[in-house]
Amino acid sequence: MIHVNTKVNGDDAEFLCDTRETLLDVLRERLNLTGVKEGCGTGDCGACSVTMDGRLVCSCLVLAAEAEGKEIGTVEGIANGEDLHPLQQKFIEYAALQCGICTPGILVATKALLEKNPDPTETEVRYWLAGNLCRCTGYDKIIRAVIDTAADMREAS
Amino acid sequence: MSLDDVKTSNFKFVGTSPDRPDGVDKVTGRARFGADAQAPGMLYAAIVRSPHAHARILGIDSSKAEALKGVKAIVTRADFAEGLEGENWNILENVMAGDTALYDGHAVAAVAATSALIARDAVKLIEVDYEVLPHVTDVDEAMAPGAPIIRAGTADASVPEGMHPNVVRYHESGHGDVEAGFKEADLIVEDHFKTEATHQGYIEPHACLAQLGGDGKGELWCCTQGHWNVQKICAALLGLETSQLRVTASEIGGGFGGKTTVFIEPVALALSRKTSRPVKLVMSRSEVFRATGPTSSASMDIRIGMKKDGTITAAQGTFRLQGGAFPGAPMEFTAMCAFACYDLKHVQQIGYDVLANRPKQAAYRAPGSPMAAFAVESVIDELCNQLGLDPIDTRLKNAACEGTKASYGPRYPRIGLVETLEAAKAHPHYSAPLKPGQGRGISCGFWFNFGGETSVTLALSEDGTVQIAVGTPDIGGSRASMALMAAEELGIPYENIRCTIADTASLGYNEVSHGSRVTYASGLATIQAARDAKRKLCARAAAKWGIPEDAVKWEDGCALPAGPNAGKFPPMPIHEITAEMGATGGPISGHYEATPEGAGVSFATHIVDAEVDAETGKTSVSRYTVVQDAGKAIHPAYVEGQYQGGAAQGIGWALNEEYIYGADGRLQNSGFLDYRIPVASDLPMIDTVIVEVPNPGHPFGVRGVGETSICPPLAAIANAVSAAAGVRLRELPMSPPRILAALDAQADG
Amino acid sequence: MDYHTPSTINEAINLAANAPGSTRFLAGGTDVLVQLRADIFTPDTLIDVKHINGVHDITQNRDGSWRIGIAVTGAEMSEHPSLSEAWPGVVEAMDLVGSTQIQGRATLTGNLCNGSPAADSVPAMIAAGMTATITGPDGSRELAIENIPTGPGKTCLAKGEMITSLTIPARGRHGGDAYLRFIPRTEMDIAVVGVAVNLQLDGDEISQARVALGAVAPTALLVPEAANAIIGTTLDEAALEALANAASAACKPIDDKRGTIKFRTHVAGVLAKRVARLAYTRAKG
């Protein structure tokens, strides 16, 4: 077992883990952050997307031990209390989610996109999200929600 | 119900698209899905699976696993009920192999341990002694003389004599005299088609948390499309009394038909019973592909005759479907849907249900229909091409309408195929110019839609707000639709209503969320439950006013004196009645239960533009439009979502998705890396047109909308590829090597 | 499995050389963790190299060549302005590996050491003439990239040896490189065929060229015959045709779930022409 000190959504967190456990395993099973989803365990679906020191990664492809000293961001950290992030608002408004299992990963990924590129084209959004599988929506309403949120956020800033 | 009883106009709430009640939970990560449950003292389970396509199980040695620290129990087939028959026996046989492993991935044993890692390590220590048997995975090979016999004696009485024992069911339907019809034709096109098995590809793997005591009382939490069905099957497989097992449906991360049965739930319950502790069991993605229920693969022959003016004179189809090592491939649906779009004098359909060494198929969005549409609509396209006819006009000429005798038997009531074709023809997409290298395809599609057992309770709170308990897991935004229909009926704001998916202890039996039945059947029951509550509310107001009950009507959330008493008393709002209900006769609820049978059939017409890279055979979809009859769209944004989602799945099925088995009978692509579902950059925006031809079987005219949208894309894309590249693909998926080979074959003459 | 985070190269090499059982180095982990999770391979000792000084750096040497640290991610390469300008083919090839999420972790060195014949970055590195510094208990050696993979999942690195840095040559004037791959979807697939071309112009004429192929043989191939087909030409149609034929002729592919022998052989030629045109356009500026 390895003892790990890390920071999740701004709060200090520490845990013991097996060396083979992934960051995803620990976020879900030890830290009860079950908003982070496991869809494949092999980095192909993006449902487990988190940020690590601001960089978008699949938490299923990070060992829990690698989180030592890092800052992790999950879907649970996107809203500020009851104040939803504009992306969260827009996803509900645009019906950009159906079953909702891919939604946490897509929100983490699109938030990272808009921080890097506040004015993405449709093609840029689609390629950025290529690693986030959604089987319900055909992506149409997701893409529209992201582009429209970006426009709103540019106007607000 | 006749169409006169259907409300078709002056809606206040229905037809708007408010925010979904589960929205905030789902965007914040609070929503609890199958794998998100925990319980004190919980163990983790993992399953041992056969690496062989067909093998006799000679012995299972679990001694090494039992010796591993943290391992608490191991179960095999011996831990389940004996003496089961029929489909229960088939399901048990699929959930845990008996004396023979029938496909790669078939469960053989399972282990519960104190951590998921230990459970997975223990699986590797369980030694199974197999005698490998010959196998077959292709449907045509499985029917051929000399094919390995998968389960002798499975065939039922419908199968004609002389067929291979792997053919287990036979279907024949139609009317007229097809040979006479073909004689009237100016052109007959006859072709052979094949489609590979595809998977629903829901992003949430199957997951459950089970607790079962030695006293036979159990609790089960799982992601499912139908928890009463889970309750019934699990009780049978474990020898329990049904009512002693309470099942709660979690939020469900996609199902598309694949979560209408059980795979892991009975195993978790058996492990819990053996350990007296809660057991959590979550499938890996690889297990989902290898051992849940993909579609059938199909081999089909289609023959259609047409006159020069486009009139279809006769149609004939033979449909061979393998559904894994168990009976149940939906070949009768394939046969019945094949020609359902057309008004035919002479039509004949034949179906074969064939066993193969593959996992037991499960429903996938309009099960059986998409492959039929692929074959039939491709042949119609070919006839139009050869006769120089417009594909929409030709379909309009033959389209089924009210009064048509359907190819599968009944006469249609009011239906909307013609309206979808006309809307498609009028859509700017159909007349938009194509760029060089692009081709346009169109196709129609059909699905029956179902009703099924349904029970709904609507309870009023003291403050006049309303809670609805329905029993159909919400797989497409149905909680919002239920609340909209109740709001419409009660005349109170959508926001004052909360709809919840009740557990099995809280309502009577509810059929699974499948067959596009939820907005239709649970919606109908919700409306009727609201009407039941309204009657009670009116009675309370009548008593207070001292006038007869039938002299009170309900309008805009208030009781109103009517008839001779009109205007005598001010309207009494719902919250005034409910505030006093404890003293005026007790709590007020509305309830309805029935097996509604008026689900309206649904049709769609799709238009697609595709582009083929002639040097590599790669196809890209550049424009897509879905036109479909919804009867009445309760929540239009979610109806659009169903149209778009079905089209996207159909595009995947057409171009890239397939089960690939090696010569060893093992599945070679059990992950999202090589089972290639469409990613965001693969697709264009998907335009939608909602046609509304009311269903006489629903108070607001609703038809199911979930499934029909996956029926047309396969053929629409094949037709577009044919127009773009000049080659007809008769086998799915239309992968680049296949298209390139077709182009090469054409170039070689 | 033991997990170590050495802070120096020497420490890492000592661990690898002396650990009992199997060892693996961990950089981005996008292959190592998949193999761990899918029970394909679990090492007894895992050595995380990301805590070693300098492994995250991209530096340009005085002679114009570049040193890429072994833990530099694909995303960091794409974000580096002058590296992308000098070697767009190498950067784009790395960028094609997996999703945005994978790019946040995956490294050139990891892509190379994983030993996949279909690795996207490897043909681009070979075409660019890149080299790797390999350090072990007995010191360091420099090897051309094409000499490192020895077969599917295999490299020439001995126990205790690790790649400690990668070097890209100076771009020089009038040069251009490009990489394209064929996949059935637009993203997220493993290459069915990959082709990289790197060339240098003298006026309109190609003076030097290197052509490399991926996913058509047990290892990525450097194909001098394909390069010779375009050297001394202005990439006219005849040269392109000769290039395509040479590329197809070099293929020794297999039939598998991702493509057939015939398909791969044909598409290698198709892509070679497209990639060469792109590299030529880039070289022209």
Over chain C (285 residues), what is each successive 10-residue block's mean pLDDT?
Answer: 97 96 96 94 97 97 97 98 96 98 98 98 98 97 98 96 98 97 97 98 98 98 98 98 98 93 97 98 95
Residues 245-284, chain C, touching A (beta carbon < 8 A): none
Kindly list the residues from chain A whose CB atom is less than 8 angstroms away from the CB atom of residue C37: 22, 41-42, 60
The answer to whether the Cβ–Cβ distance between C101 and A22 falls below 8 Å is no
CB contact under 8 A, A135 and B679: no
Distance set, CA B487 to CA A38, B455, B481, B492, B560 (Å):
37, 19, 10, 5, 18
Q: What is the DSSP secondary structure assignment for residue B496, as one 8-state letter? A: G
For position B2, what pLDDT does the model report?
63
Cβ of residue C75 closer than 8 Å to a chain A Cβ:
yes
Q: Which domains does chain C have, with CATH numbers?
A: 1-48 (3.30.43.10), 175-284 (3.30.390.50)
Q: How far is A92 from chain C (nearest CA, A)?
A: 24
Q: Which residues of B357-377 are buried (b: 16+ CB within 10 A; e: fewer)?
A: bbbbbbbbbbbbbbbbbbbbb
- Nearest-by-CA chain B residue for C270: B615
Contacts 24+ apart (CB under 8 A), B572-577: B572/B541, B572/B544, B573/B464, B574/B460, B574/B464, B574/B490, B574/B492, B574/B537, B575/B463, B575/B464, B576/B464, B577/B464, B577/B537, B577/B540, B577/B541
pLDDT on residue B692: 98
Contact A131 C187 (CB under 8 A): yes
Q: Which of B17, B204, B672 sits opposite A44 (nearest CB)?
A: B672
Task: Report the C-alpha gap between C188 and C103 in whole angstroms.
Answer: 12
Residues near B508 by beta carbon (within 8 Å), at least 6 away in sequence: B453, B455, B471, B593
Amino acid B563: pLDDT? 87
Q: Give me the total of CB pairs closer than 8 Å, taking one residue from chain A and one from chain C.
A: 86
Contact B103, B357 (CB under 8 A): yes
Residue B480 pLDDT > 70: yes
Q: Which structure tokens are listed for C251?
A: 């293929």
In this complex, do A101 and B681 lie within 8 Å of one another by their Cβ atoms?
Answer: no
**Distance of residue B222 Cα from the nearest chain C Cα, in angstroms:** 24
Phi-psi region of B226 (alpha: psi -120 to 50; beta: other; left: phi over 0): beta
pLDDT of residue B5: 82
C102 touches A: beta carbon within 8 Å: yes
Burial of B563 (0-12, 13-18, 19+ CB in 10 A): exposed
Cβ of residue B663 closer than 8 Å to a chain C Cβ: no
Residue-wise DSSP of B344-380: -SSEEEEEEEE--SSPPP---SSTTHHHHHHHHHHHH
Which amino acid is it at B460?
Answer: L
Asked if the C-beta of C184 comes within 8 angstroms of chain A's C-beta atoms, the answer is no
Q: Contact at 8 Å (CB) between B127 and B364?
A: no
H/E stretch holding C196: strand C193-202
- What average pLDDT does the segment B254-260 reach? 98
The packing angle between helices B736-747 and C261-284, to 10°, is 100
Reading the block at residue C281, the tokens are 């356009």
pLDDT recorded at residue B245:
98
Between helices B523-545 and B478-490, what is the axis angle to 10°?
A: 30
Residues 6 or more apart in contact with residue B86 via CB below 8 angstroms: none
For B180, phi then psi, to 5°, come to: -60, -40
* Chain B from 19 to 38: CB within 8 A of any A CB: 19-20, 22-33, 35-36, 38
By C-alpha distance, the chain C residue nearest A124 is C100
Nearest CA among C127, C91, C87 for reference residue C108: C91
**Strand order from edge to edge, sheet including C2-4:** C2-4, C45-48, C23-26
Q: Are strands B558-561 and B43-49 parallel, antiparallel or unpaired?
A: unpaired
Instruction: Please check the confidence at residue B377 and state whether its pLDDT lies above 90.
Output: yes
Q: Greater confidence, A157 or B465?
A: B465
- The three-point CA angle A10-A11-A14 to 5° equals 130
Per-residue pLDDT tens digits for A126-139: 999 999 999 999 99
Which chain B residues touch C259 with a CB distance below 8 Å?
A: 737
SS (H, E, C) B167-219: EEEEEEEEECCHHHHHHCCCEEEEEEEEECCCCCCCCCCCEEEEEECCCCCEE
Q: CA nearest A19: which of B710, C45, B695, C157?
A: C45
Q: Are C199 and C230 in contact (CB under 8 A)?
A: yes
Measured in whole angstroms, the distance separating CA A123 from the mean position of its chain's CA atoms is 20
Reported as a single tens digit per residue, the pLDDT across A33-54 is 999 999 999 999 999 999 999 9
> How many Å apart are CA C43 and CA C60, to the nearest integer?
35
User: Distance from A86 to chain B by nearest Cα, in Å?
Assistant: 11
CB contact under 8 A, B27 and A103: yes
A99–B251: do the CB atoms touch at under 8 Å? yes
Q: Which two tokens stand for residue A119?
A: 């004015």
Distance CA C275, CA B259 (A): 46
Q: What is the DSSP string of B523-584?
A: HHHHHHHHHHHHHHHHHHHHHHHTS-GGGEEEETTEEEE-GGGTTSS--EEHHHHHHTHHHH
- Helix B265-275 vs helix B227-238: crossing angle, to nearest 10: 50
B190, B386 Cβ separation under 8 angstroms: no
ipTM beyond cut 0.95: yes
Note the pLDDT of residue A157.
87
Asked if the Cβ–Cβ distance from C3 to A2 is below 8 Å, we say yes
Closest to B449 measured CA to CA, from B708, B174, B710: B708
Counted residue by residue, chain B has a size of: 749
Nearest CA in chain C to A131: C99
Cis peptide before B148 (omega within 30 of 0): no
What CA–CA distance (Å, rounded) separates B255 from B475? 7
Distance, CA of B711 to CA of B373 (rounded, Å): 6
Tell me the per-residue pLDDT of A82-121, one tens digit each, with 9 for 90 and over. Answer: 899 999 999 999 999 999 999 999 999 999 999 999 999 9
For A99, the closest of B253, B678, B679 (CB atoms) is B253
Contact B218, B186 (CB under 8 A): no
Q: What angle do CA A149, A153, A154 make, to 5 degrees?
A: 120
Distance CA C243, CA C222 (A): 13
Mean pLDDT of chain A, nearest integer: 98
Q: How many contacts, defined by CB atoms under 8 Å, are there between A and B?
A: 185
The pLDDT of residue B335 is above 80: yes
* Chains touching A (3+ CB pairs < 8 Å): B, C
Distance between B617 CA and the closest CA of chain A, angstroms: 22
- Which among B120, B681, B737 is the nearest to C263, CB-wise? B737
Inter-chain CB proximity A125 and B680 less than 8 Å: yes
Rounded distance between C-alpha atoms, residue B167 and residue B161, angstroms? 10
Mean local confidence (pLDDT), B426-450: 97
- Which residues does B251 contact at the CB level (< 8 Å), separation at least 6? A99, A100, B22, B25, B26, B31, B32, B33, B34, B223, B474
pLDDT in tens, C37-74: 988 999 999 999 999 999 999 999 999 999 999 999 99
Please state, as a whole number, how many other Cβ atoms lie within 10 Å of the Cβ of residue B219. 19
Model pLDDT for residues B26-69, shown as the tens digit of each residue: 999 999 999 999 999 999 999 999 999 999 999 999 999 999 99
- Kindly give, in sequence order, each residue whose CB lies less than 8 Å from that of residue C154, ignoring residues fewer than 6 positions away: C115
Question: Cβ neighbours of residue B85 under 8 Å, at least 6 residues apart?
Answer: none
Instruction: Return the DSSP state at B151.
Output: S
Chains that touch B (3 or more CB pairs under 8 A): A, C
Within 8 A by CB and 6+ apart from B374, the residues are B193, B195, B654, B714, B715, B718, B732
pLDDT at residue B645 tops 60:
yes
B305 - beta bridge partners? B188, B314
Residue B105 phi, psi (nearest 5): 105, -5
Element (H, E) at C67: strand C66-68
> Could B638 and A95 be called an inter-chain contact, meaning their C-beta atoms sit closer than 8 Å?
yes
- Using 50, 70 and 90 to split pLDDT, how confident is the model at B749? confident
- The reply to whether B411 touches chain C by the CB within 8 Å rule is no
Burial, B67: exposed, middle or buried (Cβ in 10 Å; 0-12, 13-18, 19+)? Answer: exposed
Which tokens is A115 given? 């921080």
CA distances from B225 to A97, A134, B92, B344 (A): 18, 18, 19, 36
Domains of chain A plus CATH, in order, are 2-77 (3.10.20.30), 86-156 (1.10.150.120)
Give residues 188 to 247 of C whose Cβ lies within 8 Å of A: 188
The pLDDT confidence band at residue B3, using thresholds 50, 70 and 90, is: low
Q: Which residues of A touch C73 (CB under 8 A)?
A: 55
- CB–CB contact A46 C186 (8 Å): no
* pLDDT at residue B169 in the model: 98
Q: What tens digit of pLDDT does each residue of B681-693 get? A: 999 999 999 999 9
**Pick from B106, B49, B117, B44: which is nearest to B271 by CA?**
B44
pLDDT greater than 80 at residue B1? no
